[in-house]
Amino acid sequence: MADHREPSEQPHQRPPERTGAADAPEPIDAEVVEEHPAERSPARPGEAPGGPPGQSASGQGPTGPGQPYAGEDTDAHREYQQFLEFQRFREMRRQYGDAPPVPDGAPVTRRPWYRRALRPLRFKPVRWLLYLLVLLLVLAYLYDSTFGGGGGSGSNGASPGGTESRSAMLQRSPTAAVRTVYDELANRPESVCLLFDSGARRSFAAVHGAESCGAAALRLNERITDETTYKNPDIARDAARRVGDRAKLSSCDLTVRGGPRLGEFGLRQQQSSGGWEINGYAAADCDD
């Protein structure tokens, strides 16, 4: 009976087996190509491209996940060198400030002496002390120029002050010289003796019963009741009897109020300064 099935429906018939060397299958020389090549991850730094994972570029063996590769060692070394440079920079900044360090072997130049001397002036307390010292010196100079020195007595009771102070107090006329004696007794009795020479100082002290000219001046000052009136006595124009560079003036020719009347003055004009100096003194016997 004939088989009417399609060829594809017919059962697969195995070919007859061959025996012998002649029947062995021949090897086929063909290259196997992958239809879908496996996607590979990009090579990590330090790994050889195309090599197995973990293989370094130098071929010195794999680098495990816990071991740093060559690139990491290079970066760490560079960062460490930069840190050392920064430490050296901070140390030089601390030692030299903003000025560049002096290279080794270069000669060290010192600052001029005047700059080293002015270095303390950068501090405000030092400047204030300097200002105070200058102010005290100016005040002392003004006091000496105005009052003719200190309050102590020199030889024969005269106040110290030197030739300069005496010359500054000497007046240009005999009348002005006697009026200055009354003025000094009222305001500054310690300097009145600068108007006298050495002989007149001794005479002034003897007439007023004192051991020195300065002591006599202080004693007369205690008897003054009105300083303003006493220091400006009324003196007539012809009260001074002048002959050449010498003159005489008696307190009897003066109108004195507010204190004791003084004696008779002998005066002499100095050639160097032109001022009138009292070179004699005697008691005056006035009618009043």
Give tens-digit pLDDT for 125-158. Answer: 888 998 999 999 999 888 776 654 433 444 444 4
CB atoms closer than 10 angstroms to residue 257: 13
* Per-residue pLDDT tens digits for 51-95: 555 554 444 445 455 455 556 678 888 888 888 988 888 888 877
C-beta atoms surrounding 238 within 10 Å: 9
Q: Residues near 56 by Cβ (< 8 Å), separated by ≥ 6? A: 46, 47, 48, 62, 63, 69, 70
pLDDT surpasses 70 at 265: yes
Q: Is the pTM of this model over 0.85?
A: no
10 Å Cβ neighbour count for 93?
12
pLDDT of residue 102: 57
pLDDT attached to residue 197: 92
Q: Taking the alpha carbons of 22, 24, 25, 28 in that order, is the dihedral positive or negative?
A: negative
Which pLDDT tens digit goes with each residue over 173-221? Answer: 999 999 999 999 999 998 899 999 999 999 999 999 999 999 999 999 9
Residue 248 pairs with which residues in a beta bridge? Answer: 241, 266
Q: How many CB atoms lie within 10 A of CB 187?
A: 16
Confidence of residue 104 (pLDDT cuts 50, 70, 90): low
Greater pLDDT, 143 or 17? 143
